[in-house]
């Protein structure tokens, strides 16, 4: 049965019910055609906006990127403009599904993370600051380097000069202890590029990021996710875990 009413033009009035055929006949007769069409367009509009937002679930997109993606879908009408969608954006989706994003996978492969800058931090040397706001739950960047075994990481750590020995990220992948070795200034797989993650400084009390393990192309990836809103020119910080029982924060999950 289909819900109807006693009004000839709008969905208000006394409640009544029609059979499916009667409702279909009324639609063909044009009685509710405009109302149904307008309602369909309204719902389509909302679904399209939601579809765009879900595509950029954990990384704020630029207006140009949103516009290009909309054009790729072939939508020429009944869709919000790119600027309005960017204004509505906020991180969404489950934490376990973050790396399902093709956008984030591309950033991990290319290391062309936006909104970040290397700066001299008083008393700390180099660090990383943000050049645009980041929202709680947003992926900021990754810790990029060569994935090796824990033992290989310890050997490199012991043999590396003191000023370079801190660029090692020890972690557990399931039951396997591993290390991301980023002690070289330039990433071997991205010549001429110094990646951001290796320069993020430590703080256990002022941390605004937390690391989380994912996988891209079968390779372990540590993503840094904002644990609060981060303001422009604020320094990025995360807890190295140096006070935990496991060496160099190896037990971070």
Whether 48 and 101 share a structural domain: no
| Apex 22 CA angle, 17 and 24, nearest 5 | 115
- Based on the domain organization, do 146 and 50 belong to the same domain? no
Same domain, 99 and 19: no
State which of 88, 114, 134 marks the end of a domain.
88
* Whether residues 173 and 230 fall in one domain: yes
Same domain, 43 and 74: yes
Helix axes 63-73, 33-55, angle to 10 degrees: 130
211: left (phi over 0), alpha (psi -120 to 50) or beta: beta
Percent of the chain scored above 70 by pLDDT? 83
Q: What is the DSSP letter of 198?
A: G
Q: What is the CATH number of the domain that holds 118?
A: 2.170.270.10
Question: Dihedral of CA 44/48/49/53: which sign?
Answer: positive
pLDDT for 252 beyond 50? no
The residue among 252 and 28 whose pLDDT is bigger is: 28
67 shares its domain with 110 = no
**Mean pLDDT for the chain overall:** 85
- Domain limit, last residue, from 88, 112, 127: 88
Do residues 98 and 214 lie in contact, with contact meaning Cβ atoms separated by under 8 Å?
yes
Q: What is the pTM of this model?
A: 0.80
- Identify the domain boundary among 72, 88, 104: 88
What is the number of structural domains in the chain?
2
Q: Are residues 121 and 237 in the same domain?
A: yes
Return the pLDDT at 109: 93
Give dist(CA 97, CA 215) in Å, integer. Answer: 11
Does residue 143 sit in the same domain as residue 218? yes
Residue with tokens 């007769």: 29
Residue 3 confidence class, pLDDT cut points 50, 70, 90: very low
84 and 134 part of one domain: no
Query: Are 55 and 130 part of one and the same domain?
Result: no
CA 245 – CA 237 distance, rounded (Å): 21
- DSSP code, position 189: T
Measured from the Cβ of residue 235, the count of other Cβ atoms closer than 10 Å reads 17
Domain residues for the domain of 220 are 95-249
The predicted-structure confidence for 48-95, as pLDDT tens digits, reads as follows 999 999 999 999 999 999 999 999 999 999 999 999 999 999 999 999
Domain identity same for 12 and 114:
no
What is the distance between the alpha carbons of residues 43 and 202, in angstroms, rounded to a whole number? 47
When pLDDT is averaged across residues 186-200 and rounded to a whole number, the result is 89
- For residues 192 and 122, state if they share a domain: yes
């Amino acid at each position: 049965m289909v819900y109807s009413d006693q009004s000839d033009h709008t969905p208000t009035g006394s409640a009544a019910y029609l059979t499916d055929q009667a409702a279909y006949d009324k639609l063909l007769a044009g009685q509710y055609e405009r109302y149904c069409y307008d309602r369909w367009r309204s719902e389509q509009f909302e679904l399209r906006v939601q579809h765009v937002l879900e595509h950029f679930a954990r990384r704020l997109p630029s207006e140009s990127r949103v516009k290009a993606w909309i054009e790729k879908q072939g939508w020429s009408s009944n869709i919000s403009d790119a600027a309005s969608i960017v204004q509505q954006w906020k991180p969404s989706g489950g934490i376990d599904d973050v790396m399902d994003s093709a956008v984030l996978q591309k950033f991990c492969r290319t290391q062309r993370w936006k909104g970040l800058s290397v700066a001299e931090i008083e008393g700390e040397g180099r660090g990383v600051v943000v050049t645009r706001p980041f929202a709680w739950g947003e992926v900021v960047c990754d810790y990029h380097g060569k994935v090796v075994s824990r033992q290989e990481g310890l050997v490199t750590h012991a043999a590396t000069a003191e000023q370079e020995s801190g660029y090692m990220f020890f972690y557990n992948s399931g039951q396997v202890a591993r290390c991301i070795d980023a002690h070289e200034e330039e990433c071997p797989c991205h010549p001429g590029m110094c990646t951001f993650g290796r320069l993020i400084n430590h703080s256990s009390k002022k941390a605004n990021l937390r690391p989380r393990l994912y996988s891209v192309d079968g390779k372990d990836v540590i993503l840094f996710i904002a644990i609060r809103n981060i303001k422009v020119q604020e320094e990025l910080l995360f807890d190295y875990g140096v006070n935990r029982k496991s060496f160099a924060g190896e037990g971070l999950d």
